[in-house]
């Protein structure tokens, strides 16, 4: 395997780990706010944050990932941001 192929795989691995960290952090932040704001399930049994609060939690989770990763990954992580915010 060439050095370039190894670097590409390492970059892909780093971005996968970053996305996992983002999703985990966002989940923890949302749960914290559900408890803090005493949010109850809606008719469908889902506990949703108000949109502006949820957007703030997404921003905080993304900032957390940037703070935890080396600067060499920041441009790649920022380029992935929109895809992370889109529900799968």
Angle subtended by helix axes 3-36 and 74-85, to nearest 10: 50
Residue 67 pLDDT:
97
Exposure of 45 in the CB half-sphere (CA atoms within 13 A): 0
Residue 86 pLDDT:
80
Whether residue 23 is predicted with pLDDT greater than 70 in this model: the reply is yes
Question: Is 0.85 topped by the overall pTM?
Answer: yes
The predicted-structure confidence for 28-75, as pLDDT tens digits, reads as follows 999 999 999 999 999 999 999 999 999 999 999 999 999 999 999 999
């Amino acid at each position: 395997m060439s050095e370039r192929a190894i670097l590409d795989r390492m970059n892909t691995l780093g971005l996968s780990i970053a996305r996992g960290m983002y999703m985990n952090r966002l989940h923890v932040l949302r749960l914290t706010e559900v408890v803090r704001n005493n949010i109850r399930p809606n008719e469908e049994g889902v506990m949703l944050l108000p949109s502006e609060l949820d957007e703030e939690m997404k921003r905080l989770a993304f900032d957390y990932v940037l703070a935890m990763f080396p600067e060499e990954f920041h441009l790649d992580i920022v380029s992935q941001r929109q895809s992370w915010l889109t529900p799968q």
